[in-house]
Structure 1
Amino acid sequence: MASNDANLNLSLAGRQLGDYRMLRRLGRGGMSVVYLAEQMSLKRRVAIKVLKSDLAEDESYVRRFHKEAQAAAGLVHANIVQIHEVGQTDGIHFIAQEYVQGQNLRQYLQAQGAVDIQMGLSVLRQVAAALHKAGQSGIIHRDIKPENIMLSPTGEVKVADFGLARIVDSGDSMDATQVGMTMGTPLYMSPEQAQGGKIDPRSDLYSLGVTAYHMFSGRTPFEGDNALS
């Protein structure tokens, strides 16, 4: 399916996807490809996350993708990247979300090595506020890590990728080892998440703790390439 994803990447830049004119690719992750786009009706820049083609072929995953992204769209908070729309056009499933100018925490740490106490506490306070809001709505992020923490030039912090989060007690019978359910980054995962067990909002707090260690020390507390490590 790698070739299909490559074709998708090439074909979307410069194309129109519903109300969105795709400008350029910003990056890609394990589940999606991210583009900068212009929303034609409102004349604003947005980020578009396009579900990778191999995942888009799994109907159960696509249903969950839409269900959970729609739930996350209800999270309106100053420290959460806002989701504007969840949809599909011509078989392409996507999330349109707020475009945050600046850099993510990973990029900052790569350049600076670590953060000072004042900045670190500010980041932690704002991310914790976002997680508190999500927890009140029964939503677990599952992938808190420096890449998903956006830093704006004004000092405002926003947590990204809530559109790929998990609804607590959603009634879905999918096992934790099925596609998308063990998502996360091994070095930041809680033990129960790494083992494919049941998770709750405390798992996100564990990941935030690992992120805090990384911010202040310049390295993660553990090493390894996968969850078992």
Structure 2
Amino acid sequence: MTVAVFDAYGTLFDVSAAARVVADEPGRGALAPVWPQLAADWRAKQLEYSWLRAITGDYAPFWEVTKDGLDWAMDRARLDDPELRERLLAMYWELPAYREVPFVLARLQAAGVRCAILSNGNRDMLEGAVDSSGVGSMLEAVISVEEVGIFKPARAVYDLVGTRMGCPKGDVLFVSSNGWDVAGASAYGFRTAWVNRAGLPIDRLMAKPAYVVDDLNGIEELV
């Protein structure tokens, strides 16, 4: 394998950081006790809405899906605060990378492995996270589902890797923290690694990951 393709949100970038960081700001007494649940609800709805839109063919940019997911999560938490909503959304453009990410990408780059992102995020969202985390120089491509107008795990999304990277499926190690994404990529024909940060059981889906890891450390050995 000569190409390592990474999912973005939850794999390279910490999606919980938006709520966690804002909750620590002064004057966030309403958010502080509920931010873990809000972060979990926000992510869950973001994913659920993307799946439903993929099934129905009713594509909308991931930014719209992200805002809809936050609105649901804030409603459940009884947080009626437009300023807080805007602050949380602004943080999503500056999500930090997990601690090991720059070191892993640097080792892959030094080993001659071509690295890319394949994400449901729309391109400007991804560029914001890539720029703020400082990993752009280690990525050959940032590939967004915007190019095909459907979310993962649609096969048309995984097709983008071959189109952009000019490589066969067998040259790709696909890395994601989402079990459903890994299942889709495995069924598509990629070699896959599931980043199981939460220690969850393997999803009962059509295909399983080739590798299961706790974080991204050691990914270069799998390539």
- On whether the aligned pair clears a TM of 0.5, the verdict is no
- Give the structure-1-normalised TM-score: 0.28
Higher strand fraction: Structure 1 or Structure 2?
Answer: 1
Q: Report 1 or 2 for greater relative contact order, CA contacts < 8 Å, sequence distance ≥ 6.
A: 2
